Amino acid sequence: MISPESSSSAPPTVNGRLRDFSDDPIGCMRRLQKEAGNLVALEQDGQQIVIAIGADLNRQILTNGDQFHSQFFALRGPKNSAQRRLTSGLLSMNGQEHLQQRRLMKGAFEKKAIPGYSQMIGHHTQDMLSDWQPGRTRDISKDMTDLMLRISSSMLFGMKEPELALEIGGMMERWIRMNQEIGIVALVPDQDFFPRYQEMLTFAEKLEERILAMISSRSSNAASSGHDVLSLLQRAKQTGAPMTESQMVGQAALVFGASQMTTAHTLTWTLFLLAQHPEVMQELVDQISDKPESNLRISPPEAPTGIMPANSTSVLDRVIRESMRVLPASAYSQRVTNGSTELNDALLKPNSLVIFSQFMTHRNEQLFPSSSKFHPDRWKTIRPTGYEYLPFGGGAKLCLGATLAMSILNIVLPMTLQKAGLQVVPNTRVNGRVISTMFSPEFPLPVTLLEPGTIADTSSLIGNIHDLVTFPSHASQRAAA
Ligand code: HEM
């Protein structure tokens, strides 16, 4: 809220194309930060995107949910449309409604619910790895995306009807991609926009139909015994909790969208960074072979969010934290101002789109010296706050699935490294690309599989990855030096 005597003025403004942000959010944020500082508005024809960088601005935004509303999906669709219902999950909710629905859903993601999913995660991972043989080349980006399609589908709908779950999962994946791609164009629509928008609305209707059929095909018996998210929501409904069928549709779509790509990209980036850092890989492989498999898998670790737990003790834990710092799957998050709103000394107009960025925050040199280097051992000594390090967001919208995501990473990564050594195919073009808020490799990421335990040297690569990460030099360069 603005006090009557407020002396705030508009934030520093740079005129430019809004499309520059959606085409390359990281490049655009870096350029604007250099030109105008940590709080800047990019403006085109009276429309603005406000970019806020750094821990203090993250805190102001995340602790003021009344003024900074969450609006995850760019295109909500017409009232009473399937698109509107599918996009009405937690991330589009604010205030009391959000609190109440989040409380209903919490049970599915609590620490005590995690063992119920572990077996399923291990089963799908084993299945994927059955195709991994030394000497073969695999696209780890595709493998991790497919694996997470299976895991997210089973997590949502259970293992009783795996083919149907996978079919709906596949439709969800396609619908989320449509939203990401069309959402970008929606900022500055071109002639392509309307036919694609229409296509998405029609597809949303088919998807909703399938989810509703899945809900009604379940006998109350199945719902009362299942460990999956849908069963849990159905049980909540049966106990009189106020969750309508269309709210269930929205929450199911959100959980799928929030879990699949984020976790797949985190798995891919972590395996990639390990393959490019032989010394870290060696340390991790030693730890994994020292410990019986089960020790690594049983208890879900704390998610590294909010107030950080004690300093990191296991190599795997440090590797995961550092990977999510250097290449966070969620590169930025967005809010919309609910009325005129102050941020620092700047006055933001109502309905301004405000961006705060995990990627940019994690590159603060004071907090993380040599921030472009993948250096897991830094976690032996540092303890950033939840606004300085926020791979899972923060405040009221803190990722509900963070503990489950950490469990998936803690199961899949050791199983994968026990199965094969990894070498990125030399001279591959590796580009990091942000679509909507999510940060992933733009092209396939081919990796040659080696005998388990073999540690390969760093591969020379091309692409914009060199603007994002500083790699150790190749062995021959080290020897020459
Ligand atoms: C490494 C993997 C993951 C990352 C990096 C991640 C990241 C995030 C971030 C940054 C947010 C907050 C977005 C915002 O503030 O606008 C969020 C919210 C959320 N995430 Fe995750 N997530 C991951 C995995 C998962 C998984 C596995 C699930 C579910 C099974 C999940 C469910 C959710 C939900 C339901 C929300 C919305 C919370 C709310 O609005 O109250 N996420 N996630």
Among 333, 392, 406, 409, which is best to mutate for testing ligand 1, by the most ligand atoms less than 8 A from CB? 392
Among the atoms of ligand 1, which is closest to the Cα of residue 335? 16
**Whether pLDDT at 306 is above 50:** no
**What is the average pLDDT score of the chain?**
88
Among the atoms of ligand 1, which is closest to the Cα of residue 91? 40
Give phi and psi for 419, each to the nearest 5.
-80, -35
Amino acid sitting at position 434: V
**Whether pLDDT at 201 is above 70:** yes
Q: Which residues pair with 438 in a beta bridge?
A: 330, 435
Which of the two residues, 295 and 84, has the higher pLDDT score?
84
Ligand 1 centre from 255 Cα, in Å?
A: 8
Predicted confidence (pLDDT) per residue in 425-436, tens digit: 999 999 999 988
Pocket residues for ligand 1 (CB within 6 Å)? 70, 90-91, 102, 254-255, 258-259, 262-263, 266, 329-330, 333, 391-393, 397, 399-401, 404-405
pLDDT above 90 as % of the chain: 63
- pLDDT value for 316: 95
Ligand 1 centre from 453 Cα, in Å?
A: 33
- pLDDT value for 307: 36
**Whether pLDDT at 227 is above 80:** no
- pLDDT value for 327: 98
Q: Work out the pLDDT band at 223, boundaries 50, 70, 90.
A: low
**Whether pLDDT at 235 is above 80:** no
Give phi and psi for 435, each to the nearest 5.
-110, 125
**Whether pLDDT at 5 is above 70:** no
Ligand 1 centre from 219 Cα, in Å?
A: 30
**Whether pLDDT at 311 is above 60:** no
Average pLDDT of the residues in 311-323: 88
Q: Residue 335: left (phi > 0), alpha (psi -120 to 50), or beta?
A: beta
Taking the C-alpha atoms of residue 321 and residue 312, their distance in angstroms, rounded to an integer, is 9
- pLDDT value for 300: 41
- pLDDT value for 312: 62
- pLDDT value for 296: 44
Q: Work out the pLDDT band at 85, boundaries 50, 70, 90.
A: very high
Q: Work out the pLDDT band at 112, boundaries 50, 70, 90.
A: confident
Residue partners of 13: CB distance under 8 A and separation at least 6: 40, 41, 42, 43, 48
Ligand 1 centre from 257 Cα, in Å?
A: 9
Residue partners of 198: CB distance under 8 A and separation at least 6: none
Q: Alpha helix (H) ranges present in 80-192?
A: 82-86, 95-106, 115-129, 140-157, 162-187
Q: Which residue puts its alpha carbon closest to atom 21 of ligand 1?
A: 399
Predicted confidence (pLDDT) per residue in 63-83, tens digit: 999 999 998 777 889 999 999
- pLDDT value for 2: 47
DSSP for 230-246, written as a single string = HHHHHHHHHTT-S--HH
- pLDDT value for 450: 98
- pLDDT value for 219: 53
**Cα-based angle 297, 302, 305 (whole degrees, multiple of 5):** 140
- Maximum Cα–Cα distance across the chain: 71
Ligand 1 centre from 139 Cα, in Å?
A: 25
Q: Work out the pLDDT band at 388, boundaries 50, 70, 90.
A: very high
Q: Do the strands 438-441 and 137-139 form a parallel or antiparallel pair, or are they unpaired?
A: unpaired
Q: Which residue puts its alpha carbon closest to atom 16 of ligand 1?
A: 333
**Whether pLDDT at 352 is above 60:** yes
Q: Which of 181-185, 188-192, 389-393, 470-474 has the highest mean pLDDT?
A: 389-393
- pLDDT value for 294: 45
- pLDDT value for 246: 83
CATH architecture, range 13-480: Orthogonal Bundle (1.10)
Residues in the chain: 481
Q: Which of 107-111, 171-175, 288-292, 410-414 has the lowest mean pLDDT?
A: 288-292
Cα dist. 202→82, 209, 253, 326 in Å? 8, 11, 16, 38
Ligand 1 centre from 206 Cα, in Å?
A: 25
Q: Which residue puts its alpha carbon closest to atom 17 of ligand 1?
A: 399
**Whether pLDDT at 304 is above 70:** no
Average pLDDT of the residues in 302-322: 69
- pLDDT value for 45: 86
- pLDDT value for 234: 78
Taking the C-alpha atoms of residue 410 and residue 301, their distance in angstroms, rounded to an integer, is 8
**Whether pLDDT at 242 is above 90:** no
Q: Which of 13-27, 193-207, 334-348, 467-481 has the lowest mean pLDDT?
A: 467-481
